[in-house]
Structure 1
Amino acid sequence: MSVQLLDQGRASFAQQRWTEAYARLTAADRADPLSADDLARLATAAVLLARDVEGSDLFGRAHHAYLEQGDVEDAARCAFWAGMILVGHGGPAQGNGWFARAARVAEDGPADGVIRGYLRLPEALRAMRTGAYAEALEGFVAAREVGLRWRDPDLLALARLGIGGTRVLLGSLAEGSALLDEVMVDVTAGQVSEIPSGIVYCAVIGVCRETFDLPRAREWTAALSRWCERQPDLVPFRGECLINRAHIMLAHGDWPDALAEAERAVERLTDPPQPELGRAVYQQAEILRLLGRLDEAETAYLRANQLGEEPQPGLALLRVEQGRVQDAAVAVRRVLDGAPHSLARCRVLPAVVEVLLTAGDVRQARRAAGELADMAARRDNPWLHAVAAGADGTVLLAEGRPDAALAELRRAWGLWQDLGVPYEAARTRAAMGKAYRATGDEDAAQLELDAARWAFAQLGAPQDLTRVEALSRQAPLAPGGLTPREVEVLRLVATGRTNRAIAAELFLSEKTVARHLSNIFTKLDLPSRAAATAYAYERHLV
Structure 2
Amino acid sequence: MVAEQPQLISFSGTCLMHRADIKRLSGAWQDAIDKAQQAVERLTQSNNRKDTAGAWYQLAEVHRLRGDFDAAEQAYRSASQYGFEPQPGLALLRLAERHVGTAAAAIRRVMAATTDQVKRIRLLSAHVEIMLAAGDIEEARRACHELADIAEMYGTEPLRALASHARGAVELADGEAQAAAIWLRRAIEAWQQVDAPYEAARVGVIMGLACRALGDNDGAVLELQVARTVFQQLGATPDVSRIDTLLDTRPDEARGLSARELQVLRRIASGKTNKEIANELHLSGKTVDRHVSNIFNKLDVPTRTAATAWAYEHRLV
Say whether the fold is shared (TM-score over 0.5). Answer: yes
Matched residue, 2:297: 519
Task: Check 1:446–1:241 CA distance in 2 against 1; reply closer, same or farther (3 A cut).
Answer: same
Post-superposition offset of 1:374: 1.3
Aligned partner of residue 221 in structure 2, secondary structure: helix
1:384 to 149, 159, 179: 159
Matched residue, 1:47: 4
Post-superposition offset of 1:503: 8.0
Post-superposition offset of 1:348: 0.6
Whether the 8 Å contact between 1:236 and 1:274 is mirrored in structure 2 is yes
Whether the 8 Å contact between 1:492 and 1:502 is mirrored in structure 2 is no
Q: Let me know the Cα RMSD of the aligned residues.
A: 2.4
Q: Deviations over 1:487-509 (max 9, x none)?
A: 9835751354755489889xx95
1:265 to 39, 45, 49: 39
1:359 to 134, 153, 156: 134
Q: Deviations over 1:86-140 (max 9, x none)?
A: xxxxxxxxxxxxxxxxxxxxxxxxxxxxxxxxxxxxxxxxxxxxxxxxxxxxxxx
Aligned partner of residue 269 in structure 1, secondary structure: helix
- Matched AA of 1:47: E
Q: Deviations over 1:320-365 (max 9, x none)?
A: 1122211211111121122232211111100100111111111100
Whether the 8 Å contact between 2:296 and 2:303 is mirrored in structure 1 is no
Taking the aligned partners of 1:487 and 1:310, their CA distance within structure 2 comes to 32
Matched residue, 1:278: 53
Taking the aligned partners of 1:325 and 1:532, their CA distance within structure 2 comes to 26
Task: Check 1:326–1:504 CA distance in 2 against 1; reply closer, same or farther (3 A cut).
Answer: closer
Name the TM-score, length of structure 2 as normaliser: 0.90
Give the fraction of aligned pairs with identical amino acids, expressed as a percent. Answer: 42
Map 1:336-375 onto structure 2 (within 5 A): 336-375=111-150
Structure 1 window deviating more from structure 2 (492-501 vs 361-370): it is 492-501
Post-superposition offset of 1:271: 2.5
1:484 to 227, 240, 256: 256
Map 1:75-94 onto structure 2 (within 5 A): none
Post-superposition offset of 1:279: 1.0
Matched residue, 1:494: 266
1:465 to 210, 217, 240: 240
Q: Deviations over 1:355-402 (max 9, x none)?
A: 111111111001000111111122221111000000000000000000
Matched residue, 1:241: 15
Whether the 8 Å contact between 2:66 and 2:236 is mirrored in structure 1 is yes
Taking the aligned partners of 1:416 and 1:490, their CA distance within structure 2 comes to 30
Post-superposition offset of 1:254: 0.2
Taking the aligned partners of 1:466 and 1:537, their CA distance within structure 2 comes to 24
Whether the 8 Å contact between 1:251 and 1:421 is mirrored in structure 2 is yes
Task: Check 1:511–1:400 CA distance in 2 against 1; reply closer, same or farther (3 A cut).
Answer: farther
Q: Deviations over 1:263-312 (max 9, x none)?
A: 11111222353222111111111111111110111111111111111111
Taking the aligned partners of 1:385 and 1:423, their CA distance within structure 2 comes to 16
Taking the aligned partners of 2:292 and 2:178, their CA distance within structure 1 comes to 21
Taking the aligned partners of 1:250 and 1:258, their CA distance within structure 2 comes to 5
Matched, 1:253 2:210: no
Q: Deviations over 1:174-204 (max 9, x none)?
A: xxxxxxxxxxxxxxxxxxxxxxxxxxxxxxx
Taking the aligned partners of 1:399 and 1:378, their CA distance within structure 2 comes to 26
Matched, 1:443 2:186: no
Matched residue, 1:417: 192
Map 1:57-456 onto structure 2 (within 5 A): 234-275=8-49, 276-456=51-231
- Matched AA of 1:518: F
- Matched AA of 2:172: L
Post-superposition offset of 1:455: 0.7
Aligned partner of residue 110 in structure 2, secondary structure: helix
Aligned partner of residue 154 in structure 2, secondary structure: coil
Larger radius of gyration, structure 1 or 2? 1
Task: Check 1:267–1:358 CA distance in 2 against 1; reply closer, same or farther (3 A cut).
Answer: same
Q: How many residues align?
A: 308
Task: Check 1:394–1:295 CA distance in 2 against 1; reply closer, same or farther (3 A cut).
Answer: same
Whether the 8 Å contact between 1:456 and 1:465 is mirrored in structure 2 is yes
Taking the aligned partners of 1:486 and 1:450, their CA distance within structure 2 comes to 18
Task: Check 1:535–1:501 CA distance in 2 against 1; reply closer, same or farther (3 A cut).
Answer: farther
